[in-house]
A = this chain, B = another copy of it.
Amino acid sequence: MSVGIRHDDLRRRNRAMVISAVRRASQPSRTEIAATTGLSHSTISTISSDLIAEGILAEAKSNEPVSMKRGRPQVALTLEPRAASVVAVVLSLNSLSAAIIDYAGNTVVEETTRLVTEHMSGEALTDECVAMIRRLTESDDAAGGTVLRIAMAVQGITDAASRKLLWSPITRHDDIPFADRLEQEFGVPVTVENDCNMIAEALRWRDPSRYRDDFIAILLSHGIGMGLVIKGELFTGTQSSGAEFGHMIHRPDGALCRCGRRGCIEAYAGNYAIWRNARLGDENAEPLADLSDDDIRSLADAARDHDGPEREAFRKAGEAIGFGLGSMFALFDPAPLAFVGVGATAFDLMEPHVRAAIAKTAGGLHSKAISFDTEPNEVPLKREGAMMRALLHVDQEIFAAGSAPRRADADVA
């Protein structure tokens, strides 16, 4: 049962609200914050002056947009960049990247490397992460606030506690405890989360008007991933990161999936599946290990150019996605969709079939009204999502709790 509310929780929650209001709005004044939170002006005044004294917020002195209004001008509040920093790590098939980000969300340093993840053990992968983070934190550019949190976005299934990678297509090894090792190395809390969930988180911040309480991000790539936001919350499994759209069953005992099972949506709509259908015409052929983005683009060009197996392969992919979405919509009603990744460049070939399939399902009543959007480049989204996760945690768990000031140089102000 959830625990009672103590008196000091109250302050903590209201501090959290103020911080979150500042992060969300561009540069709100105290008055605006009072309006959005519903708290009184006096409370907001007290809390924000505390936060400024602690070096978490700052008054934006710089630009004068010349209010042109009578009365005392509003003072815009901002996040103090030096209040803290976080590290966002993105680990994907054959690629690792990391960045240090300041408290205001600006990237301070970053690095990206190619590595052959398929042939690496869990330990080797962790070592690479440790080494890269260490290079970044020790680089000269990494001045500013102390690192208070590290967030990883990885391809694959993570556990519900965000501590380890349970299974991933990028390596043959299971149960890689990234969080434990990284916490040990760097002495700050670490989370490991599924990359598609991070994509969803990022979309929320990129375009809050479109992606707010309910939406679906689908990653069309070698495999098929999904990040799901329902009722304003990231939807995860009870034990794992969940939302494995790609492994919902499209056709019982159907095409051979990379996961070894049969009939998964991914076995029709993953890059390898589209290539297999177009080039081999054999649903049971062993999935290819890797496939370049160009391979997919040329399949798409061929499909656009003339009728043939390529076009049919994209049709099957669209159909699988559409029926899968229809099944999901039976559970929680239709929601706006974002298709992310290379596959999004070929989405024009799939869209009519996606819609046609949805129309045959319970969600079909509104099939035409469902909004589709595409974003070919998933890499920045993954990083932004991991960054936001880390920053929000600092906001809510560390700074909202108060106590000591965190800024490296709190006495400057």
A-to-B contact residues, CB < 8 Å: 1-7, 10, 13-14, 17, 20-21, 24, 36-39, 43, 213-214, 228, 230-231, 235-240, 242-245, 247-253, 259, 261-264, 319, 323, 326-328, 330-333, 335, 357, 360-362, 364
Could you show 14 A-B contacts with beta carbons less than 8 Å apart?
A1-B21, A1-B37, A3-B37, A5-B13, A7-B10, A228-B331, A237-B333, A238-B335, A239-B333, A243-B332, A244-B330, A247-B330, A261-B362, A262-B360
Query: Which of A10, A24, A264, A330 neighbours the largest number of chain B CB atoms within 10 Å of its CB?
Result: A330
Decide: A235 and B332 in contact? CB cutoff 8 A.
Answer: yes
With a cutoff of 8 Å between Cβ atoms, the chain B residues found around residue A364 in the complex are: 261
With a cutoff of 8 Å between Cβ atoms, the chain B residues found around residue A361 in the complex are: 247, 249, 261
Decide: A240 and B39 in contact? CB cutoff 8 A.
Answer: no
A380 to B335, CA, bound (A): 35
Decide: B36 and A1 in contact? CB cutoff 8 A.
Answer: yes
Q: Which residue in chain B gives the minimum CB-CB distance to A231?
A: B238
The one of B14, B250, B261 that contacts A5, using a Cβ cutoff of 8 Å:
B14
With a cutoff of 8 Å between Cβ atoms, the chain B residues found around residue A39 in the complex are: 4, 6
A244 to B250, CA, bound (A): 17
Q: Which residue in chain B gives the minimum CB-CB distance to A362?
A: B247
Min Cβ gap A166→B in Å is 10
A323 to B10, CA, bound (A): 46
A351 to B252, CA, bound (A): 17
Min Cβ gap A224→B in Å is 11
A335 to B238, CA, bound (A): 8
Q: Which residue in chain B gives the minimum CB-CB distance to A38?
A: B3
Decide: B333 and A4 in contact? CB cutoff 8 A.
Answer: no
